[in-house]
């Protein structure tokens, strides 16, 4: 894997981003929650996978997060080591890694709850130092894995309590807006103790939105939720993404990261890789076309050997032919023509895709192997 994959910078911006960047430079990037939220039912089929990356710079042309050679040790134990990455405004950035990889400690460090041992970070435009802790905390929100709500208070009372801690002047307006954003307006007067785990998680999300955070840290937001509640939280995160909220999402759920995140990082004490899921798949794995025909080819070598963009081929035990290709789109038409010329009845020619889970397991397995050696 090249250095670009291991320590990437943000993708180049596109024309439409210039307008958004100037809006954000003018300080408008925190206006996203002003937009009336769409009901979750409109995306009930599940959040669409991300197809775009909006790596936007904020005021003064700086990204939302800049992390450089950051390390945290607890005595002899290294929680994470020499970690560097950037996150753009409006980006949903997935942070993945096995248990004990250092994810939560990274979030706690960026959230100024603990000090780094070495390296530097800039969060929402402010350098992470002990002195800057209060200013950074006022501009970010951190939603921990466990919601931590007062169960004997209502939803609205909980939010009022936290709005008071933030010393927010227009608390009532902000509470209404946050409840709308998570589709909980009609549950405002319910006791938190009477809510399901999924609804409590939505209250915690509303609480995290109260201060209009420049960066929203979500630590395993769907941990322990059933599939329906998980999907609701996914839909909410996707709707925040559509409104340009910058989200740092720690998760063990790879399908969640693939669905919600513009880019992902895989941490295993050191940062193993950062990139868009599709890029990571392409960097780590050979690309294949899977060819299905009605009857086995008499002489497959005569059909596939020498075709442009086809590097090698093999027949799978279950019947289909698997062609290693450099560019599936370029290879497929010539493969189809060669099959037709050979008199084969084509059932399908499709790229066989690796999942983000394949990428994750390959990297983490490599680490396990390296430790064994």
Site for ligand ATP in 84-123 (CB under 6 A): 97, 99-105
Q: Cβ 256 to ligand ATP, closest distance in Å?
A: 14
Q: Cβ 244 to ligand ATP, closest distance in Å?
A: 27
| Coil vs helix vs strand at 129 | coil
Say how many CA atoms lie within 13 Å of 12 toward its Cβ: 2
Position 193 contacts ligand ATP (CB under 6 A): no
Report the phi/psi class of residue 300: left, alpha or beta, with left for phi > 0 and alpha for psi in -120 to 50.
alpha
Q: Closer to ligand ATP at the Cβ: 53 or 105?
A: 105
Distances (CA, A) of 291 to 320, 327, 330: 6, 15, 15
Q: Cβ 103 to ligand ATP, closest distance in Å?
A: 4
Q: Are 274 and 8 in contact (CB under 8 A)?
A: yes
Backbone angles phi, psi at 306, to 5 degrees: 85, -5
Q: Closer to ligand ATP at the Cβ: 86 or 219?
A: 219
Position 128 contacts ligand ATP (CB under 6 A): no
The whole-angstrom separation of Cα 347 and Cα 320 is 10
Q: Closer to ligand ATP at the Cβ: 58 or 94?
A: 94
Q: Closer to ligand ATP at the Cβ: 74 or 173?
A: 74
State the number of binding residues for ligand ATP (CB under 6 A): 11
8-state DSSP, 62: -
Q: Closer to ligand ATP at the Cβ: 125 or 147?
A: 147
Q: Cβ 4 to ligand ATP, closest distance in Å?
A: 25
Q: Closer to ligand ATP at the Cβ: 70 or 179?
A: 70
Q: Cβ 78 to ligand ATP, closest distance in Å?
A: 8
The whole-angstrom separation of Cα 144 and Cα 135 is 20
- Partnered with residue 149 across adjacent β-strands are none
Please list, in sequence order, all residues whose beta carbon lies within 8 angstroms of the beta carbon of residue 230, skipping any fewer than 6 positions away: 198, 222, 253, 256
Q: Cβ 114 to ligand ATP, closest distance in Å?
A: 8
The whole-angstrom separation of Cα 137 and Cα 356 is 32
Show the tokens assigned to 159: 């939010």
Q: Closer to ligand ATP at the Cβ: 4 or 357?
A: 357
The whole-angstrom separation of Cα 147 and Cα 303 is 59
Helices of type H across 14-53:
15-25
Site string for ligand ATP, 46-85 (x = CB under 6 A): ----------------------------x--x-x------
Q: What does DSSP say about strands 65-74 and 77-87: parallel, antiparallel, or unpaired?
A: antiparallel
Position 224 contacts ligand ATP (CB under 6 A): no
Position 189 contacts ligand ATP (CB under 6 A): no
Q: Closer to ligand ATP at the Cβ: 77 or 371?
A: 77
For ligand ATP, the binding residues (CB under 6 A) are 74, 77, 79, 97, 99-105
């Amino acid at each position: 894997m090249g250095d670009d994959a291991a320590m990437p910078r943000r993708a180049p911006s596109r024309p439409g981003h210039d307008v958004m960047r100037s809006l954000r430079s003018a300080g408008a990037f925190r206006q996203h929650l002003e937009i009336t939220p769409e009901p979750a039912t409109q995306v009930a089929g599940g959040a669409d996978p991300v197809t775009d990356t909006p790596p936007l710079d904020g005021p003064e042309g700086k990204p939302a997060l800049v992390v450089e050679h950051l390390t945290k040790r607890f005595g002899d134990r290294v929680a994470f080591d020499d970690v560097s990455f950037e996150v753009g405004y409006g980006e949903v950035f997935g942070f993945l890694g096995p248990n004990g990889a250092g994810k939560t400690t990274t979030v706690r460090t960026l959230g100024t709850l603990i000090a780094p041992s070495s390296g530097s970070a800039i969060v929402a435009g402010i350098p992470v130092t002990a002195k800057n802790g209060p200013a950074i905390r006022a501009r970010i929100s951190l939603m921990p894995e466990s919601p931590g709500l007062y169960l004997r208070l209502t939803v609205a009372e909980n939010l009022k309590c936290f709005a008071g801690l933030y010393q927010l002047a227009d608390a009532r307006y902000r509470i209404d807006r946050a409840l709308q954003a998570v589709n909980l307006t009609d549950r405002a007067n319910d006791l938190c103790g009477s809510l399901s785990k999924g609804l409590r998680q939505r209250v915690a999300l509303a609480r995290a939105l109260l201060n209009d955070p420049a960066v929203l840290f979500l630590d395993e937001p769907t941990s322990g939720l059933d599939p329906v509640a998980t999907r609701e939280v996914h839909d909410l995160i996707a709707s925040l993404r559509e409104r340009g909220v910058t989200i740092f999402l720690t998760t063990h759920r790879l399908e969640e990261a693939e669905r919600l995140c513009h880019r992902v990082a895989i941490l295993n004490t050191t940062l193993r890789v950062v990139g868009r899921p599709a890029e990571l798949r392409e960097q780590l794995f050979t690309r294949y076309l899977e060819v299905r025909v009605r009857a086995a080819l008499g002489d497959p070598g005569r059909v596939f050997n020498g075709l442009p963009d086809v590097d090698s081929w093999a027949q799978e035990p279950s019947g289909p032919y698997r062609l290693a290709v450099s560019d599936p789109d370029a290879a497929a038409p010539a493969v189809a023509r060669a099959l037709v010329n050979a008199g084969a009845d084509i059932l399908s020619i499709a790229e066989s895709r690796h999942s983000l889970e394949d990428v994750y397991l390959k990297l983490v397995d490599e680490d396990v192997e390296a430790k064994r050696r």
